[in-house]
Amino acid sequence: MLTLERLRSDHAPALLAFEQENRAYFAQSVPDRGDDYFTGFASRHRDLLAEQDTGACRFHVVLDDRGELIGRVNLVDISDGCAELGYRIDERATGRGVATAAVGEACRLAGAEYALSTLVAVTTLDNPASRAVLARNGFTVVESITLVGRPGVRYRRRLAPAS
What pLDDT digit, counting tens, does each position of 87-98 carry? 999 999 999 999
pTM to 2 decimals? 0.93
Say how many domains are in the chain.
1
For 103-157, the pLDDT digits (tens) are 999 999 999 999 999 999 999 998 999 999 999 999 999 999 998 888 999 999 9
**Phi/psi at 134 (5° precision):** -65, -45
Side chain identity, residue 81: G
User: In this predicted structure, what is the pLDDT of residue 61?
Assistant: 98
**Residues 123, 128, 134, 138: is their CA dihedral positive or negative?**
positive
Q: What is the mean pLDDT of residues 3-29?
A: 94
- What beta strand segments (E) does the chain contain? 3-6, 58-63, 69-79, 82-89, 118-124, 140-147, 150-158
CA dihedral 102, 104, 106, 107 (to 10 degrees): 170
Within a domain: residue 87? yes
Helix (H) or strand (E) holding 44: helix 41-54
Per-residue pLDDT, 150: 87
Q: Is residue 45 part of a domain?
A: yes
pLDDT tens-place string over residues 40-62: 999 999 999 999 999 999 999 99
71 domain residue, yes or no: yes
Helix (H) and strand (E) counts for the chain? 6, 7
- Separation CA 70–CA 19 (nearest Å): 10
- pLDDT classification of 1: cutoffs 50, 70, 90: confident
**By three-state DSSP, how is residue 51 classified?**
helix
pLDDT value of position 163: 58
- pLDDT tens digits along 14-25: 999 999 999 999
Res 75 pLDDT > 70: yes
**C-alpha distances in Å from residue 59, one per residue of 7, 39, 119, 125, 126:** 5, 20, 14, 25, 26
Q: Is residue 146 part of a domain?
A: yes
Tell me the residue range of the domain where 98 lies: 3-158
Separation of alpha carbons 157 and 150, rounded Å: 23
Contact of 60 with 106, CB cutoff 8 Å: yes
56 occurs within a structural domain: yes
CATH of the domain at 92: 3.40.630.30
Pairing of strands 69-79, 82-89: antiparallel
pLDDT of residue 74: 97
